[in-house]
Amino acid sequence: MHAIIVSAPRGPEALEYVERPDPVPGDGEIVVDVAASGVNFIDIYHRSGAYPLPLPTPIGSEGAGTVSAVGPGVEGVAVGDTVAWANVLGSYAEKAVVPAHRAVPVPDGVPAEVAAAAMLQGMTAHYLTHSTHEVKEGDQVLVHAGAGGMGQLLIQLAKHKGAKVYTTVSTSEKEKLAREAGADEVLRYDDFAEVLRGRIDVVYDGVGKATFDGGLEALRPRGLMALYGAASGPVPPFDPQTLNKQGSLFLTRPTLVHYIAEREELLRRASDLFGWITEGQLTINISHRYPLAEARQAHEDLAGRRTTGKLLLIP
């Protein structure tokens, strides 16, 4: 089979398209013929060494496909089932080994590509709007990068829960996408803090360095900054006293792994997502598909913010 590995942390050139023996499942594992792999910023962090991994390493954290082999001790999953997963390394491959307890069943009404596109970003949007800050009717919500895959999902889920949603984008084309996702007001990065100062209940920030200070200014007293990513770079160290001065603000740096640690929670979030998709309540915008061998180009496009919606690798 073919797969993408990283032997040394570098730029997109670190992604090596290699041939490897077909995997054999171990105890509690399944092998999946991958239909699609999602491309995410966490993959860039793994590739670049920002989130260090033992090297050489497989890469890719989410995908979906058809089970082709089942290891000893696996129950509830059979060859031929369609499953999806998130936070499992090695998804940039024609065949992936997935712990059975991390795989979720994909219902018949959800294509495998859509399932692959929904898992990591969809469950992230789910926990951010349902757990980190449970959005309520009338909440004032700010979503940064509203035209991206995560941004579009956050806008939709916040609107479903009755919030007024503001978002930031960089171009008129991206503004159109954010409005189609349901944003009430679309702002540019250079003036959002001034426009929204002191009005926002929760900021969902996956941009990081470039938007963090402005996001704190936008929050009302006792508002919450949910910093879930760093597309523009990590936020520099800052004095926690800033949170006091700007209104006893709350700051959290959440990550998906802690919100799907228990299988029951993983299944609940995935079931909600697939249910909304099949009922037409949640739209997954797959904007770019790349052959697996072109993973470098996918990383260049994502890091360069040349894309909107979700990016997939197709083996």
3-state secondary structure of 204: strand
Predicted TM-score (pTM) of this structure? 0.94
Confidence of residue 87 (pLDDT cuts 50, 70, 90): very high
Q: Where residue 162 falls among pLDDT bands split at 50, 70, 90?
A: very high
Please identify, in words, the CATH class of the domain defined by 2-120+260-313. Answer: alpha beta
Mean pLDDT of 250-258: 97
Calpha distance 184→156 (Å, rounded) = 11
pLDDT bucket at 151, cuts 50 / 70 / 90 = very high
Alpha helices by DSSP H, the chain: 41-48, 112-127, 149-160, 172-181, 192-196, 212-218, 241-245, 263-278, 295-303
Report the share of the chain in percent with pLDDT over 70. 100
**pLDDT average, residue stretch 158-181:** 96
Mean predicted confidence (pLDDT) in 89-101: 98
Looking at every residue in the chain, the average pLDDT score rounds to 96
**What tokens does 256 get?**
């998906």
- Residue 266, phi then psi, degrees to nearest 5: -55, -50
| pLDDT score recorded for residue 113 | 98
What pLDDT band is residue 307 in, cutting at 50, 70 and 90?
A: confident
Report the pLDDT value the prediction gives residue 304, as an integer from 0 to 100. Answer: 86
**At 226, is the pLDDT very low, low, confident or very high (cuts 50, 70, 90)?**
very high
β pairing state of 82-86 and 164-169: unpaired
Question: Under CATH, domain 133-253 is a member of which superfamily?
Answer: NAD(P)-binding Rossmann-like Domain (3.40.50.720)
Query: In which residue are the tokens 């860039």 written?
Result: 44
Amino acid type, 37: S
Domain boundary assignment for the chain? 2-120+260-313, 133-253
What local confidence, expressed as pLDDT, does residue 309 receive?
A: 83
Q: Is the pLDDT of residue 311 over 90?
A: yes
pLDDT tops 90 at residue 308? no
3-state class of 180 per DSSP?
helix
Secondary structure letter of residue 30 according to DSSP:
E
Per-residue model confidence as pLDDT tens digits over 19-48: 999 999 999 999 999 999 999 999 999 999
The per-residue pLDDT for range 278-300, each reduced to its tens digit, is 999 999 999 999 999 999 999 99
| pLDDT tens digits, one per residue of 108-147 | 999 999 999 999 999 999 999 999 999 999 999 999 999 9
- Within this chain, domains 2-120+260-313 and 133-253 share the same CATH topology: no
Residue 82 contacts residue 109 (beta carbons within 8 Å) = no
